[in-house]
Chains A and B, each alone.
Chain A
Amino acid sequence: MNFVYEKLMGGKRGLTGFIILAALILVVFPLFFDIFRLSLVGKYLTYAFAAVSLVLLWGFGGILSLGQGIFFGLGGYGMAMFLKLEASSPENTSIQSTPGIPDFMDWNQLTELPWFWVPFNSLTFTILAILILPAAFAYLIGAAMFKRRVGGVYFAIITQVISVILTVLIVGQQGYTGGINGMTDLRTMHGWDITSDSARYIFYFINSFLLLSVIVLGRFILTSKFGSLLLAMRDKEDRVRFSGYDVSNFKIFIFCIAALISAIGGAMFTLQVGFMSPSFVGIVPSIEMVIFCAVGGRMSLIGAVYGTLLINFGKTAFSETFPELWLFLMGGLFISVVMFFPNGLAGIWEDYSHHLISRLTAFKNKIRKMLPNTGGKTPTQDAG
């Protein structure tokens, strides 16, 4: 019990923040938003997975990945392949020249399901693939980079390049991937209509629970010795190396975890939005994920969720009215956060909540003094 309280929730302060976030996404949003808006929030929360992964990787590990879209996309495409296969049953596709294969394959003169698509007929395989393949890919990239001591800007550029390569590959291999349009018309899962309101509610809650679990997982990692080592490596990599640690293994591991988390977000995205396309893999989404994380506070798992929500609400509101200005606004916001609030929303909260709490305590004590009859208790000092 103590372990859960101290380690996973981060003591009193951490627990309060966690409960507020959980209440917001599990109670407040579902109560006050209709299903259309709620689905939108659900979509934003899938981006929050990537933002949370960047808190671990970039905020604490000091490893800036400009390619989290790679893993978000791999997770999303994994789920999309499963759903697309189900949508392409021989009955649904009887007008194609080859019934039983996805429509875009038929358009591209494929007459047979490619071998790597076949296992995605199984939901179990799909889920395992979502959990394993992106992390395995991250392992390959990580091992190639970190074992050779490539880091910093070079790592950021290389991840960005990989995300471009992946986009080009997906767009170019239309017959296998659906090309620039992505995989669309994803409607059912084992015959269950995933576009129905009830399915959307269910996915929203599954998504929220997964996100909260990921935050708990993040807390577990950060409060362990591994977490201290991440900070230590960020500041003095050589000291860690010369204290007997194989630094590259730690970097590879956190990169794999970040990939896994992003991939879960991607899979939940496909389930809730009903399609997946290369526009969620490339440079722009990958950098947006970094912005979500920076605005929320790159040292705060919970802050990253708020950052994601804030930016996306802003994007929706502004891009409806001033579509051409939005990108400038977001760029400006990113620059000003980096320059003036390096710890983002979480940092602002951290700085000002103390004032707020001490004022409230002072106010409470004042009232107690003004009412001398309210028991002989001395006001308890709340150090939280």
Chain B
Amino acid sequence: MNYENSLTLAIEDLTVSFDGFKAVDALNLYLDKNELHVVIGPNGAGKTTVLDLICGKTKSTSGSIKFLNKELTKMPEHEIVRAGVGRKFQTPSIYENLTVLENLEVSYPEGRGVIGSLLFKRTDKVRTKIHEVAEQIMLVDSLDTEAALLSHGQKQWLEIGMLLIQDPQLLMLDEPVAGMSVKEREQTAELLNKISEGRSVLVIEHDMEFVARIADKVTVLHQGKILAAGNMKEVQNDPKVIEVYLGH
């Protein structure tokens, strides 16, 4: 990598306003390689909007988002993905009618054009990669199961797997453990710690216990602005954070 020392993601002065309401207001956020960064904050703080802005779902009003020195704010969504940004949605967003294998195959980063997809073949290379990812997300035994039949937690993992198969440099996860059982949360924490090696991960999460287990760095958002940032301990002891978010 040429950018060995540079940041994976540099968000500077990012603002988006919806009819005058600033959902994100002059935000600065930096992510290093190998960093697992968690964004927390009360409802309506603009957490999901930040992810929407990075992946191009929402266009920014001003400011810049640089990913490996590439400006993302003007790029169409699919090109942002191809540049190496993967994003998981809040509710599991998988193809219910397709099997786990097909879900992963559809996400495989080849045959992304019209003609390419018509001529795409399930080669051994593709199969090996699918198996590898399925093993990581603990779904190797369910490859031929229709995705609709998976449990809620498994659906979340499948969506993470659909991102992993693209080998993104930046992985963004919106509430990955929402609705998961205690055991599934533990497995997910392990999974996240594993997959954050060699890439940057940006997570939005509410569950503080879970955040404490995974986060290298925590940023607290409030009304579109950063309230506090640092490691978990610093943030937890910050009086402003306690007041608006963590409670007394």
Query: A-side interface residues toward B, CB under 8 Å?
Result: 220-221, 224-226, 228-229, 231-232, 235-236, 238-247, 249-250, 253
Interface residue ranges of B85-140 to A (CB < 8 Å) = 86-87, 89, 93-98, 102, 105-107, 109, 111-114, 117-120
B166 → chain A closest CB, angstroms = 7
A324 to chain B, nearest CB (A): 42
Which of B105, B112, B159 lies in contact with A244, CB distance below 8 A? B112
Q: When the two chains form their complex, are residues A224 and B87 in contact, meaning their CB atoms are under 8 A apart?
A: no
Let me know if A242 and B87 touch, CB within 8 A: yes
How far apart are the CA atoms of A36 and B144 in the complex, in Å? 50
The answer to whether A228 and B166 touch (CB under 8 A), given A221-B118, A242-B77, A249-B113, is no
CB distance from A299 to the nearest CB of B (A): 10
Q: Given A231-B97, A243-B81, A243-B107, A225 and B118 touching (CB < 8 A)?
A: yes
- What residues of chain B lie closer than 8 Å to A229, measured between beta carbons? 106, 117
Name 8 interchain pairs, CB-CB below 8 A, sorted by A: A221-B118, A228-B102, A229-B106, A239-B89, A240-B106, A242-B86, A242-B89, A243-B106
Set of chain A residues within 8 Å of B119, measured between Cβ atoms:
224
Q: In the complex, how many angstroms separate the beta carbon of A60 from the nearest chain B beta carbon?
A: 10
Given the known A-B contacts A229-B117, A242-B77, A244-B109, are A236 and B98 also in contact in the complex, defined by CB atoms under 8 Å? no
Mark contacts of B69-92 with chain A using CB atoms, 8 A cut-off: 1 yes-contact digit, 0 otherwise: 000000011100110001101000
> For residue A232, which residues in chain B have a CB less than 8 angstroms away from its CB?
95, 98, 106
| Size category, B interface | 20 to 34
Cα distance, A158 to B89, chains bound together (Å): 31
| Contact of B107 with A231 in the complex, beta carbons under 8 Å | no
Identify which of residues 162-190 in chain B touch chain A, using a CB-to-CB cut-off of 8 Å.
162, 166
B94 touches A244 (CB 8 A): no
Name the distance in Å between B203's Cβ and chain A's nearest Cβ: 17
Q: Tell me whether A246 and B106 are in contact in the complex, defined as CB-CB below 8 angstroms, given that A229-B117, A235-B96, A236-B95 are known contacts.
A: no
- A229 and B102 alpha carbons, distance in the complex (Å): 10
**Are A236 and B81 touching (Cβ within 8 A)?**
no
A245 and B95 within 8 A (CB) = no
Question: Given the complex, which residues of A lie within 8 Å of B55, measured CB to CB?
Answer: 242
Is B57 interfacial (CB 8 A cutoff)? Answer: yes
Q: How many Å lie between the Cα of A241 and that of B55 in the bound state?
A: 10
Q: Find out whether the CB atom of B87 lies under 8 angstroms from the CB atom of A244.
A: no
Given the known inter-chain contacts A224-B119, A225-B120, A226-B114, please indicate yes or no for A245 contacting B78, CB distance below 8 A. Answer: yes
Chain A nearest CB, measured from B229 CB (Å): 27
With a CB–CB cut-off of 8 A, which chain B residues contact A238?
57, 89, 93
Q: Which residue of A231, A244, A245 contacts B98 across the interface (Cβ within 8 Å)?
A: A231
- Find the B residue at minimum CB distance from A249: B114
Verify A244–B82 contact, CB threshold 8 A. yes
Contact assessment for B93 and A239 in the assembled complex, using a CB-CB cutoff below 8 Å: yes
| Inter-chain contacts of B89 with A (CB < 8 A) | 238-239, 242
Which residue from A220, A224, A225, A241 sits with its C-beta under 8 Å from B77?
A241
A120 to B81, CA, bound (A): 47
Contacts of B102 in A (CB 8 A): 228
- In the bound assembly, the distance between CA atoms of A238 and B81 in angstroms comes to 12
The verdict on A246 contacting B76 (CB below 8 Å), with A228-B98, A239-B95 known, is yes
Cβ B76 vs Cβ A228 within 8 A? no
The listed residue (B81, B87, B118, B159) touching A226 by CB distance below 8 A is: B118
Contact partner of A236 among B57, B86, B94, B117, CB < 8 A? Answer: B94
Q: Is the CB of B81 within 8 A of A242?
A: yes
Chain A residues with CB under 8 A of B107: 243
Q: Contact at B95–A235, with CB atoms within 8 Å? A: yes
Question: Do residues B93 and A236 form an inter-chain contact, with CB atoms below 8 A?
Answer: yes
The 8 closest A-B pairs by CB, nearest first: A244-B81, A225-B120, A226-B117, A225-B117, A239-B93, A232-B95, A253-B114, A246-B78
